[in-house]
Amino acid sequence: MTLSTTPFGRTGKTVTRIGFGAWAIGGSWGDVSEGEAKATLEAALDAGMTFIDTADVYGDGRSERIIRDVLASRSGPRPFVATKAGRRLSPHIASGYTIENIESFIDRSLKNLGLDCLDLVQLHCPPTEVYYTPALFDGLEALKSKGKIAQWGVSVEKVEEALKAIEYPGCASVQIIYNLFRQRPATLFFREAQARNVATIIRVPLASGMLTGKMTAASTFAADDHRNFNRHGQAFDVGETFSGVPYDVALQAVEELRPLVPQGATMAQFALRWILMEEAATVVIPGARTQAQSIANAGADALAPLPAATMQACRAVYDRLIAPHVHQRW
C-alpha cells in the first residue's frame, strides 16, 4: 500500500499523512498482549506508515520498548519516531519542567527506544505556565546541540498553548486534538502553524473510539481503560477522553454523522478522511490494538476527497451539538 506523504514541517523529513499512535499498545486502553501489540505495529508499518508517535509514560516505557523491538527486526528505512516527556513528573506541576528533569527523561527514552538521538521529543501536555518559561526551551535547543534530540515540539491541550509554543523559533511541531468533535484548531492555529512551517500531529482523531460508530449507551470499558477511569477528568485532562464531549451527546452526534459516511467506508475511515481534508494537518495518529485496526486506519488514505456538502453537514452537527460543550474550553 502506498500512502500519501508530506514534509514534516521544516525538519527535512517526509512522513505519511496517516501514522501510528502507540498509546494503546502501551497501556490505558485495556489489556493488549505483547505479541498482539507487536503484530499491530508490524501491520501498520507493512501498510506503509512511516510515522510513529509514543510517550515515555505509555505503559511506563512499554510502548517505547515494543517499538524498539519491532524496528530492530525490520530492514529498510527506519520510520520517524516521536516520543514525549514530562508526564513522569509526580506531581505533574510546572516547577518540575526543568531541563535537568527533561534530559533525564530523554535519556530513559533513548534507552527504551534503542536510539542514540531522538527524532522528536515533545513536552507532554505541560501546565500552561510552562510555555512562558523561555529557559526551558533554550535548554531543549542545547539538547539538540548535544546530539540527544534532533528536534523538539510540544503536545498541547489548548489552542492558546499551541499558539504560544510556536512563538519559539525552535518549535518543530505541535501535537493537538483535532477531529469531528474538536474543530477549533482550524479557526486560527492551523493558519499560524503553516505560516511558520510548523508540523502538526493530530491526536485523538476518533474521539477515543467514539467516531468508530461502534459504541452504544450500553458499552463498557475495562478498569484500566481511560474511557472508564477518566470519564470526568479524574486522571488527566478530560478532553483526552471522548474529546471532552458528554457521552450521550457524542452518541447522538455519531448517529447524525452516520448517513454522511461514503459507501464502502467505515465511520472511522470517514472520520480520518475528514481530518486529511485539512491541508495544515501534517500527520494524523489513530491508535490501534489489533492488526485489522491498523490496516483499516491506513485504508482511510485511499478514500476520495469529501464533497463540500458533506463537510458543511459535518460542521452543522458540530455547531449545533458539540461546540457548546468544547469549543471555548480547549
Instruction: Enumerate residue ranges in the chain where pLDDT < 50.
Output: none
The whole-number pLDDT of residue 219 equals 93
CA distance 44 to 294: 5
- The residues pairing with 122 across neighbouring beta strands, listed in sequence order, are 84, 153
User: pLDDT digits over 158-172, tens only?
Assistant: 999 999 999 999 999
Is the pTM here over 0.85, yes or no?
yes
Relative to beta strand 199-203, strand 171-177 is: parallel
172: left (phi over 0), alpha (psi -120 to 50) or beta: alpha
Max Cα-Cα span within the chain: 53
Number of H helices, E strands in the chain: 12, 10
Local structure of residue 197 (DSSP, 8 states):
T
Report the pLDDT value the prediction gives residue 30, as an integer from 0 to 100.
66
In whole angstroms, what is the distance from residue 179 CA to residue 181 CA?
A: 5
The pLDDT of residue 293: 96
Cell numbers representing residue 113 in the block: 527506544
